[in-house]
Structure 1
Amino acid sequence: MDEKNLLAERFEENRTHLRAVAYRMLGSIAEAEDAVQESWFRADRTDLSSVQNLPGWLTTVVGRVCLDMLRTRKALREDLLDTHVPDPVVSRLDAPAVDPEQEVLQADAVGLALLVVLETLPPAERLAFVLHDMFAVPFDDIAPIVDRTPATTRQLASRARHKVEGSAPSPDPDQTRQREVVEAFMAAARGGDFEALVSVLDPDIVFRVDAGSDPDALSKLVRGATTVASGAITFSRHAPHARLVLINGAVGLFTAVDGRPVSVMSFTVADGRVAEINLISDPDRLPAITASLHLTD
């Protein structure tokens, strides 16, 4: 086997890991794929004869690609005020096996609420936190990517960690308990029972709606159980069409009407109540996000 084919084979061995890194960095499945592909182009153009740890080298390369993409995205989004929810990884709750293309994202899944917090971090902080805290990349290897010293890079990760710990609710890992709470939410929404809805929501709940370019909907962020319950009642007309799915490894809801995806809704369940809801109803993004559900089945 020649060197080019050997590199291609070893790159494929690391592709799922690189995709997981890029997804956590970018919060976009499509952009993560683009970042991995760009990493391959860079690897293919580089003399790797002196590289002793190829997986580690590839991880730093995809990190650098993602950092460039985040900086470009930040410049493009500066004037946008709409609420944005990252791409979720959606799969059937009753699926016998996870889609191989999404297996690494669903295993050891990072919750959507955490991805939302990562979206608020400056690009360099996000890179330092993701590579070090999630993938154990040494600060000495991260520092050249962000053009900082290892000590300063450690501070970047520390600041990011502080923001994450102070913003993302700690979810209940028990899927059975998650399901009970989400089903209680569904029942209350279907019945238009305001009091039941309030009782299943944390008093300080955060509810994000990402409607994208939909002219008939509005992206927004609301807080508080009574306010969220009032808004959730308005979704009751679609509640009969909702079904349980897994969203980034946690129980959530997917709604489709006549084979057309209407929304995906992720729940962060903590202490027996819903602490956070992230809803995507963007008609431009939903088909790709929900493709793995096979609506024609």
Structure 2
Amino acid sequence: MDSETLARRFDELRPHLMSVAFQVVGSMPDAEDVIQAVWLKVASSDTRAIANLAGWITTITTRTALDTLKARHRRRETLTGDDLPHEGETSGPDAEVLLAESVSRALLVVLERLSPAERVAFVMHDVFAMPFDEIGSILDRTAATSKKLASRARTKIHAAPAPASSQVAEHTKIVRAFLAASRGSDIPTLLELLAPDVIRTVDPILVAPGASTVIRGAAEVADETRQFTTRAKKAAVVLIDGEPGVVIAPSGRLLALMTISFNLNGQIRRIDITADRSYHDAATLTLPTDGGE
């Protein structure tokens, strides 16, 4: 295959390769670096004997993404205060497009809790339908071990059934309704969902200097959501330690956790928003059983 044809084929595959890289590494800059490295390898290779070019390049992409993921885990990168995006900033527009088209924001956040091997096994099998023998060759594991890694990942990603699941399901619906109303500045709906004496707390790092970190009352909390519609659009519902809450995750990277509690009438009585990394790391994040975002 001549270089011009190879370049054209690579460009045709680029959206798929970018999706693979993004879901494995969870970062647009890292995914772009992966694709650049893959192209350099592909362009310098003799592809004449390759029967399945798309499969071959996908495998190279997955291996390169795995190496990147391992390196990042070794560095144990964390967001600092200076790294936190503020309201109105456009964080990773390309990543936002990929999130809309290929993977849920909540799933991408939960994937960060997996080991590199678990993440690759789950993403490549459950999302891209790659056979376990091919995944095993990428991970340098057997097909059976790769299957176990994917199974272990599913257990960590999906919430286990609990005795109070009916209440959790009902509260999850309320949290989804709250997030939807926040995105649309739907004040009447917010006032129905919030308890009259609701309290909202937030870490100072997440709001403008001098802004109140504690707000009380349904009208005040509902009105405040007008300032954060952009951030609400970059949020998703998850289970935090088994209870429905919200992750705020621009470009799929965890910025803050919003824990929510309810009164006996099923109204939201308290909202606590934290950017504390130690709390984030200690919390168990899983997807709601209904699978929605």
TM bin, normalised by shorter chain, reads 0.5 to 0.7
**Higher helix fraction (1 or 2):** 2
Equivalences for residues 76-87 of structure 1 within 5 A: 76-77=75-76, 80=78
2:155 aligned partner = 162
Q: Is the 8 A contact 1:190 1:239 kept in 2?
A: no
How far apart, CA to CA, are the structure 1 residues paired with 2:197 and 2:124? 39
1:202 aligned partner = none
Secondary structure at the counterpart of residue 267 of structure 1: strand
Equivalences for residues 116-265 of structure 1 within 5 A: 116-166=109-159, 182-183=180-181, 186=185, 187=187, 195=195, 217=205, 239-242=225-228, 253-254=229-230, 265=234
2:66 aligned partner = 67
Where do 4+ consecutive residues of structure 1 move more than 6 Å?
99-102, 188-191, 232-237
How far apart, CA to CA, are the structure 2 residues paired with 1:157 and 1:120? 13
2:55 aligned partner = 56
Superposed CA RMSD in Å reads: 4.9
CA deviation string 1:89-142 (max 9, x = no partner):
xxx9xxxxxx999765523x3211111110010001100110111001111211
Q: Is the 8 A contact 1:28 1:86 kept in 2?
A: no
How far apart, CA to CA, are the structure 1 residues paired with 2:19 and 2:122? 14
Structure 1: runs of 5 or more not aligned: 93-98, 172-176, 199-206, 220-227, 243-252, 256-262, 287-297
1:43 aligned partner = 42
How far apart, CA to CA, are the structure 2 residues paired with 1:9 and 1:138? 27
How far apart, CA to CA, are the structure 1 residues paired with 2:48 and 2:107? 38
Secondary structure at the counterpart of residue 116 of structure 1: helix
CA deviation string 1:131-175 (max 9, x = no partner):
1110011112111211111111111111112211237x999xxxx
Amino acid at match of 1:195: A
- Taking structure 1 as reference, are residues 31 and 281 closer, same or farther at Cα in structure 2, changes over 3 Å only? closer
- Taking structure 1 as reference, are residues 239 and 70 closer, same or farther at Cα in structure 2, changes over 3 Å only? same
- Taking structure 1 as reference, are residues 3 and 71 closer, same or farther at Cα in structure 2, changes over 3 Å only? same
1:276 aligned partner = 245
Amino acid at match of 1:54: L
CA deviation string 1:10-39 (max 9, x = no partner):
000100001111111122122212111111
1:110 aligned partner = 103
- Taking structure 1 as reference, are residues 31 and 279 closer, same or farther at Cα in structure 2, changes over 3 Å only? same
Structure 2: runs of 5 or more not aligned: 170-174, 208-213, 256-293
CA deviation string 1:191-247 (max 9, x = no partner):
7x951697xxxxxxxx9x9x9xxxx5169xxxxxxxx997x99977753334xxxxx
How far apart, CA to CA, are the structure 2 residues paired with 1:100 and 1:116? 17
How far apart, CA to CA, are the structure 2 residues paired with 1:63 and 1:155? 19
Q: Is the 8 A contact 2:28 2:94 kept in 1?
A: no
In the TM superposition, what is the alpha-carbon distance from 1:265 to its structure 2 partner?
3.8
- Taking structure 1 as reference, are residues 229 and 101 closer, same or farther at Cα in structure 2, changes over 3 Å only? closer
How far apart, CA to CA, are the structure 1 residues paired with 2:106 and 2:22? 14
- Taking structure 1 as reference, are residues 179 and 42 closer, same or farther at Cα in structure 2, changes over 3 Å only? farther
- Taking structure 1 as reference, are residues 184 and 145 closer, same or farther at Cα in structure 2, changes over 3 Å only? closer
CA deviation string 1:236-270 (max 9, x = no partner):
7753334xxxxxxxxxx305xxxxxxx86413289
How far apart, CA to CA, are the structure 1 residues paired with 2:22 and 2:71? 16
Match of 1:266 among 235, 241, 248: 235
- Taking structure 1 as reference, are residues 264 and 31 closer, same or farther at Cα in structure 2, changes over 3 Å only? farther
How far apart, CA to CA, are the structure 1 residues paired with 2:95 and 2:249? 22
Amino acid at match of 1:239: T
Amino acid at match of 2:52: N
In the TM superposition, what is the alpha-carbon distance from 1:276 to its structure 2 partner?
3.1
Structure of larger gyration radius: 2
- Taking structure 1 as reference, are residues 197 and 12 closer, same or farther at Cα in structure 2, changes over 3 Å only? farther
